[in-house]
Amino acid sequence: MNQVNRRLFAASVLTAALGIAATTSPGFAQQGMSQDQMMKMKQSNMDRAKKGHLVACYGINAAGRNDCAVGAHSCAGQATQARDPNSFVLVPAGDCEKIDGGKLKAG
Protein backbone atom coordinates (compact mmCIF):
# COMPACT_ATOMS: atom_id res chain seq x y z
CA MET A 1 0.00 0.00 0.00
CA ASN A 2 1.62 3.30 -1.03
CA GLN A 3 1.90 6.24 1.34
CA VAL A 4 -1.05 8.17 -0.15
CA ASN A 5 -3.31 5.12 0.14
CA ARG A 6 -2.13 4.56 3.71
CA ARG A 7 -2.96 8.16 4.59
CA LEU A 8 -6.38 7.93 2.97
CA PHE A 9 -7.08 4.66 4.74
CA ALA A 10 -5.96 6.10 8.08
CA ALA A 11 -8.10 9.20 7.50
CA SER A 12 -11.14 7.11 6.65
CA VAL A 13 -10.66 4.90 9.70
CA LEU A 14 -10.29 7.96 11.91
CA THR A 15 -13.32 9.55 10.31
CA ALA A 16 -15.42 6.47 10.87
CA ALA A 17 -14.26 6.14 14.47
CA LEU A 18 -14.89 9.77 15.38
CA GLY A 19 -17.89 10.41 13.19
CA ILE A 20 -16.33 13.60 11.80
CA ALA A 21 -14.40 14.38 8.67
CA ALA A 22 -10.64 14.12 8.44
CA THR A 23 -8.69 15.18 5.40
CA THR A 24 -5.20 14.53 4.11
CA SER A 25 -4.76 17.64 1.99
CA PRO A 26 -3.00 20.74 3.27
CA GLY A 27 -4.33 24.24 2.85
CA PHE A 28 -7.78 23.99 4.38
CA ALA A 29 -9.53 26.69 6.41
CA GLN A 30 -7.78 29.41 4.43
CA GLN A 31 -9.35 32.81 4.51
CA GLY A 32 -9.34 35.36 1.73
CA MET A 33 -8.76 33.08 -1.25
CA SER A 34 -9.14 34.71 -4.64
CA GLN A 35 -11.56 33.34 -7.22
CA ASP A 36 -8.59 31.98 -9.18
CA GLN A 37 -7.20 30.23 -6.10
CA MET A 38 -10.61 28.73 -5.36
CA MET A 39 -10.91 27.39 -8.91
CA LYS A 40 -7.42 25.87 -8.71
CA MET A 41 -8.26 24.26 -5.36
CA LYS A 42 -11.51 22.89 -6.76
CA GLN A 43 -9.69 21.44 -9.80
CA SER A 44 -6.97 19.99 -7.59
CA ASN A 45 -9.59 18.25 -5.44
CA MET A 46 -11.36 16.84 -8.47
CA ASP A 47 -8.05 15.56 -9.89
CA ARG A 48 -7.23 13.99 -6.51
CA ALA A 49 -10.66 12.34 -6.41
CA LYS A 50 -10.25 10.85 -9.87
CA LYS A 51 -6.71 9.57 -9.27
CA GLY A 52 -7.46 8.20 -5.81
CA HIS A 53 -10.88 6.70 -6.60
CA LEU A 54 -12.41 9.05 -4.04
CA VAL A 55 -16.05 10.07 -3.73
CA ALA A 56 -17.73 13.15 -2.29
CA CYS A 57 -19.22 12.36 1.11
CA TYR A 58 -21.65 15.02 2.33
CA GLY A 59 -22.51 15.85 5.92
CA ILE A 60 -19.36 14.62 7.65
CA ASN A 61 -17.15 17.71 7.59
CA ALA A 62 -15.87 19.65 10.56
CA ALA A 63 -16.21 23.45 10.39
CA GLY A 64 -13.58 24.76 7.99
CA ARG A 65 -12.53 21.22 6.99
CA ASN A 66 -14.31 20.45 3.73
CA ASP A 67 -13.03 19.70 0.24
CA CYS A 68 -15.83 21.52 -1.59
CA ALA A 69 -19.58 22.16 -1.47
CA VAL A 70 -22.81 22.72 -3.34
CA GLY A 71 -24.63 26.04 -2.99
CA ALA A 72 -23.58 28.02 0.09
CA HIS A 73 -19.87 28.29 -0.76
CA SER A 74 -17.64 26.92 -3.43
CA CYS A 75 -14.28 26.01 -2.04
CA ALA A 76 -12.27 23.95 0.36
CA GLY A 77 -12.14 25.08 3.95
CA GLN A 78 -15.13 27.42 3.72
CA ALA A 79 -17.70 25.38 5.65
CA THR A 80 -18.92 27.42 8.60
CA GLN A 81 -20.61 24.54 10.41
CA ALA A 82 -19.76 20.95 11.16
CA ARG A 83 -21.78 18.24 9.40
CA ASP A 84 -22.96 20.68 6.72
CA PRO A 85 -25.29 18.69 4.43
CA ASN A 86 -24.05 20.68 1.42
CA SER A 87 -20.31 20.39 2.10
CA PHE A 88 -18.32 17.32 1.24
CA VAL A 89 -15.09 15.59 2.08
CA LEU A 90 -13.41 13.25 -0.38
CA VAL A 91 -13.17 9.72 0.99
CA PRO A 92 -12.29 6.35 -0.57
CA ALA A 93 -15.17 4.79 -2.49
CA GLY A 94 -17.29 2.64 -0.18
CA ASP A 95 -16.33 4.48 3.02
CA CYS A 96 -19.00 7.21 3.00
CA GLU A 97 -21.77 4.75 3.73
CA LYS A 98 -19.85 3.50 6.78
CA ILE A 99 -19.57 6.95 8.37
CA ASP A 100 -22.36 8.13 10.66
CA GLY A 101 -24.29 10.83 8.78
CA GLY A 102 -22.36 10.34 5.52
CA LYS A 103 -24.38 10.77 2.32
CA LEU A 104 -23.37 10.51 -1.34
CA LYS A 105 -25.71 13.39 -2.31
CA ALA A 106 -26.00 16.95 -0.99
CA GLY A 107 -28.90 18.04 1.17
Q: Where does the chain have alpha helices with state H?
A: 3-18, 35-52
pLDDT of amino acid 78: 84
Which of 70, 26, 58 has the alpha carbon at shortest distance from 90?
Answer: 58
Amino acid at 9: F
C-alpha distance from residue 59 to each of 9, 11, 16, 18, 37 (Å): 19, 16, 13, 14, 24
pLDDT tens track for 7-51: 555 555 445 444 443 433 434 444 567 878 878 888 888 898 899
The mean pLDDT of 83-105, rounded to a whole number, is 95
